[in-house]
A and B are shown apart, each in its own frame.
Chain A
Amino acid sequence: MRVKFGVNLRKVKTGAEIYIIIFQLSALLPTLYMYLISGYPYLMTRSGVHLFLFDVGISALPRWEALLLSMLYRGTSSETATYFAMLGFALLVGLVAANVLKGKPRTAIISRIVFAVLIFSDLLFRLLPIHCNQAMSPAMNVIGFVIRLACLALVALDLIAHRRKPAEN
Chain B
Amino acid sequence: MPSLPDMNTPDVAELARGAAAASRATEVPTPDAGQEAFFEALLRIGDSTLILGHRVSEWCGHSPALEEDIALANVALDLIGQTQMWLGLAGEVEGKGRSADDLAYLRDAWDFRNLLIVERPNGDFGHTLMRQFLFDAYHLELLKALAGSSDPRVAEIAVKAAKEVAYHLERSSDLVIRLGDGTDESHRRMQAALEALWPYTGEMFLSDEKDAEAAAAGRIADPASLRPAWERTVRDVLGAATLTIPEGAFAHKGGKRGVHTEHLGYILADMQFLQRAYPGATW
Do A and B interact? Answer: no
